[in-house]
Structure 1
Amino acid sequence: MTLSHPPRNALALAAVCLTSLMFGLEISSVPTVLPILESVLRADFKEIQWIMNAYTLACTTVLMATGALADRFGRKRIYVASIVMFAVTSLICGLAQSAPVLIVSRFFQGMGGGAMLICQVAVLSHQFQEGRERSRAFGVWGIIFGIGLGFGPIIGGMIVAVANWQWVFLVHALISIVALGLVFAGVRESRDPHAQYLDVAGILTLSLSCFGLVYFITQGPDLGLGSPAALSIVAATVLSFIVFIFVEKRSPRPMFDFSVFRIRPFSGALCGSVGMNFSYWPFMIYLPIYFQGALGYTSVNTGLSLLAYTLPTLVVPPLAERLALRFDARRVIPLGMFTIGLGFLLMRFGAGMEQASWLTMLPGCLLCGTGLGLTNTPVTNTATGAVSPNRAGMASGIDMSARMISLAINIALMGFILLEGVLSYLAHALPGIGETTPLRWLAEKVAAGSIAQLTQHGAELAIADPHGVIVRAALVHGFDLVMRYGMICAWALALLSLVAFGSATRAHRQASARDERARHPST
């Protein structure tokens, strides 16, 4: 089948690569413009967090549902609908004149992006069925997706430099038109005639529990962590998660089959998958704030500086694959997580130097990217390869959902740590400033990177800190805590991954020996 339609397959692969490029760019290019959005849209620090979190939470919401809908109603049809939704919401994002409008449109953009991501895998799996062609197609798709993630920061910075922040979003509306043409020309329709069940209860309860946890982390300090409103959010979140577990255990076709967690290679790989989103990926959201707020870099210089953080993720994966084949993924995945933690340690030293710059951050950024490259591909291959082929889609869905959920939670957690670190430093360094200026408001502005504006805010702050030395030191202190958190999480998940893998290799060898004896009983 694959060889009989090579031109259509080439067009289908081009469509998948183009949409994967858009999805990757929309994750990694937006962080470089967050400080600009804070100023232009008058967004506070929590709104800045939600601009990113709305996208990731929405992706999580639709991941499992999209696969079922595509199987039932047609993969090409759902793919087209997801691209149209992504294009329209990207247009609305670019035209947004306020932070709330941008947050809502980002949520729907994330739904379109998440649906696109799942459809890409479904289209490639159906369109490329021969072994060599299939491997080549998935390889090209992975490279293009990595380019979108790796070069997103510099592309976002360059767009802002030559145009304005709106085009970081608007450009996707134009690219989507080309992608739709390629889809109509190259993608063949397919569906699963046996797909009838959609786990609506599981999708809703998991989404509500994730949203409740993120909302509590971001809004809890303002509500009061012990207030009735905050405690009600916690109770609703816990209840939603309990109902989710109950629903999934009783569902005839659950989107989360908990029995796969008893497979040690799958659990070990999942620890690595979650570990990346407890450290590397959420920190990429805040790193531009450090370069622009603490070091005073422009958007373009920030994007260039971030290349050291992202480019190794493109170069290292082939090496990671060879290492996994030679030394086993159960060693490579924890090694990758340990390397990420070591990178955070070196970034802490670099940021704490008296003459801190991109150069002092370079070793840590390179190590973090290298660790991510060592972890990412082996995690995906191990998670899907640890289960039987008919459960690979479900395993992939769990892996992707775990990534998006942990990313959303840790965007909120890192923001909370950054804000509280800045607040504690300012309270100690400027004990009298809170008499006329709310100290938390000041800390939110500093955490968002608005250093230049704050030094002009009023006579009290201008006299206490005329050159912005204290507020910059507060921002550096907050980032020190965030980097310490990333380091601890990376190393803790590396250890947990080792424990989860356990003696999986020995069990695998025993199973292989049994299979060999079954094939050759005389030996």
Structure 2
Amino acid sequence: MCVGYFLVLLDVTVVNVALPRIGSSLGAGVSGLQWTVDAYALALASLMLASGTVGDLLGHRRVVLAGLAVFGVGSLACGLAPDVGSLVAARAVQGVGAALLLPGTLAIISHAYADEAEQARAIGVWAGIGSLALPAGPLLGGVLISGFGWRAIFLLNVPIVLLSLGAVVLTVRESREPRAGRFDVPGLLFGCGALLATVFAFVQAGRSGVGSPVVIGAAIAAVVLLGALVVTERRAGDEAMLPPALLRRPVFGAANTAAGVMNLCTLGLLFVLMLFLQSVQHHSPLAAGVLILPLFLPLAVVAPLGGRMTSRLGARLPGTAGLAVAAVGLALLARAEPGSGWLVLLPAFLLWGAGMGLLTPAVVAAAVAAVPGERAGLASAISNTARQTGGAVGIAVAGAVAGQPGSGGHFVRGFHVLALGSAVLYLAAAALVAALLPGAPPPDERKP
């Protein structure tokens, strides 16, 4: 299951390193690069809830196998794409595969570890090993792009998928929950439409301005579709894709809000940061990958520690501390200038990464523990959907705020605004987590 999570995260960071080369090779501007990243994130966020329910009904092992196969086909298509349109379409196929794959990885772990403390520790391991993809992505991507071109980052996935398919067949037992409910088609359609319209509005605003009729029309469509989603889900009740009863649970809502804020700021800033390092500071893909390692290495190292802290102390302390520490790192990014050296960025990366390492297992464990065990697939899907939705919107917002890297001072000022705004959002999420997430269990209930 960690291999599946690793694949999904690897593709995020590898692609960000490749963006400048993809842009120059295929003639894509910032909006084309945004869609290259967001086509994957949109498909992932839109379909993850449905795939979580499908896994509960049909079996998580079966859905994980299907997700790996679709992800592999999409990766092959990305590596062979002749133009930006084809690449964006293939990235969407990759996202469909990731959406089928990701919820099942966490649901299978949840079924394997029934005890909450053991489950929290297992989720910490899952987050830590999966997060190794984050430091591996920039470094591996830089090597592949420098030696073989940007297409190699997608073609690399194909043999990994084949090995993973064999591993799942040999090691994973089937798990399903036939009582989980039905497939909510109206909720899926309205949710996908609202998310697509929201991201399109932000991306288009960066190209044609906020007052553009197309942007206004997309924003209106997003509001209407979101309203339709709310009405539909209320009528569907417990059979809804987003059951209102779950969303009304304060712990569940706070955990997923924090998860969404984390990815909104992280993926949005990462998109702009890689353009800053390569197009403004003129580093090679490999050098940019090495420079960003201090961001992802602490995340991979600290995440298992965060899982152990959560199992012993509850989600409140590691969640709040993680958001506060990361907020300081994000604020320090506002010091970066075109001529800044690596030592200016290093403290920001270390604090940002360490904070996310504490936060991730805390919010995921809190979300899963807040719902009945038979809805593990749905809970993990909602948790991941919150993060991927935040990431998709964050990339669209970041591109609109920063603009083209060639715009000189405007791009750098936009980068600074995004860094400081992200720090403020992290602090607001920290206050929410401190108020609503569970604290330490009684001493007689703590596990070593």
- Taking structure 1 as the reference length, what is the TM-score of the superposition? 0.78
Deviations 1:242-263 (A, max 9, x none): 1111111111412212333443
Give yes or no for the alignment of 1:330 onto 2:316: yes
Amino acid paired to 1:446: G
Question: 1:363: which partner in 2?
Answer: 347
- Contact 1:93–1:169 (CA<8 Å) still a contact in 2? yes
- Work out the CA distance in 1 between the residues paired with 2:141 and 2:155: 12
Question: 2:365: which partner in 1?
Answer: 381
Question: 2:426: which partner in 1?
Answer: 490
- Contact 2:121–2:304 (CA<8 Å) still a contact in 1? no
| Greater relative CO, 1 or 2 (CA 8 Å, sep 6+) | 2
Relative to 1, partners in 2 of residues 1:129 and 1:214: Cα closer, same or farther, differing over 3 Å?
A: same
- Identify the match of residue 288 of structure 1 among 262, 274, 277: 274
Question: 2:289: which partner in 1?
Answer: 303
Question: 1:94: which partner in 2?
Answer: 79
Structure whose alpha-carbon radius of gyration is higher: 1
- Work out the CA distance in 1 between the residues paired with 2:174 and 2:234: 33
1:48 Cα deviation from its structure 2 partner: 0.4
Question: 1:217: which partner in 2?
Answer: 202
Question: 1:53: which partner in 2?
Answer: 38
Give yes or no for the alignment of 1:446 onto 2:406: yes
For structure 1, list consecutive stretches of 5 or more residues without a partner in the other structure.
Answer: 1-15, 420-443, 448-470, 516-523
Amino acid paired to 1:317: A
Relative to 1, partners in 2 of residues 1:186 and 1:396: Cα closer, same or farther, differing over 3 Å?
A: closer
Secondary structure of the 1:226 match is: coil
- Work out the CA distance in 2 between the residues paired with 1:18 and 1:499: 34
- Contact 1:59–1:113 (CA<8 Å) still a contact in 2? yes
Give yes or no for the alignment of 1:81 onto 2:66: yes
- Contact 1:55–1:109 (CA<8 Å) still a contact in 2? yes
Question: 1:416: which partner in 2?
Answer: 400
- Percent identity reads 30
- Work out the CA distance in 1 between the residues paired with 2:150 and 2:369: 41
- Identify the match of residue 159 of structure 1 among 144, 147, 161: 144
1:40 Cα deviation from its structure 2 partner: 0.4
Amino acid paired to 2:33: I
Deviations 1:54-96 (A, max 9, x none): 1111011221111222333343333222211111110010011
Secondary structure of the 2:264 match is: coil
Deviations 1:186-215 (A, max 9, x none): 334444444561011111111110110110
Aligned residue runs from structure 1 range 113-512, under 5 A? 113-125=98-110, 138=123, 140-194=125-179, 197-223=182-208, 225-252=210-237, 253-324=239-310, 328-349=314-335, 351-352=336-337, 355-419=339-403, 444=404, 446=406, 471=408, 473-501=409-437
- Contact 1:295–1:357 (CA<8 Å) still a contact in 2? no
Q: Which moved more, 1:217-226 or 1:294-303?
A: 217-226
- Contact 2:194–2:226 (CA<8 Å) still a contact in 1? yes
Q: Which moved more, 1:266-275 or 1:397-406?
A: 266-275
- Contact 1:273–1:403 (CA<8 Å) still a contact in 2? yes
1:273 Cα deviation from its structure 2 partner: 1.2
- Work out the CA distance in 2 between the residues paired with 1:131 and 1:335: 21
Deviations 1:408-462 (A, max 9, x none): 111111111111xxxxxxxxxxxxxxxxxxxxxxxx3526xxxxxxxxxxxxxxx
1:135 Cα deviation from its structure 2 partner: 7.3
- Contact 1:90–1:173 (CA<8 Å) still a contact in 2? yes
- Work out the CA distance in 2 between the residues paired with 1:84 and 1:405: 23
- Work out the CA distance in 2 between the residues paired with 1:410 and 1:237: 16
- Work out the CA distance in 2 between the residues paired with 1:172 and 1:276: 26
Amino acid paired to 1:302: A
CA RMSD of aligned residues (A): 2.8
- Contact 1:340–1:367 (CA<8 Å) still a contact in 2? yes
Q: Which moved more, 1:279-288 or 1:84-93?
A: 279-288
- Contact 2:268–2:397 (CA<8 Å) still a contact in 1? no
- Contact 1:265–1:330 (CA<8 Å) still a contact in 2? no
Question: 2:16: which partner in 1?
Answer: 31
Relative to 1, partners in 2 of residues 1:124 and 1:325: Cα closer, same or farther, differing over 3 Å?
A: closer
Amino acid paired to 1:185: L
- Taking structure 2 as the reference length, what is the TM-score of the superposition? 0.90
Aligned length: 444
- Work out the CA distance in 2 between the residues paired with 1:60 and 1:89: 17
1:216 Cα deviation from its structure 2 partner: 0.5
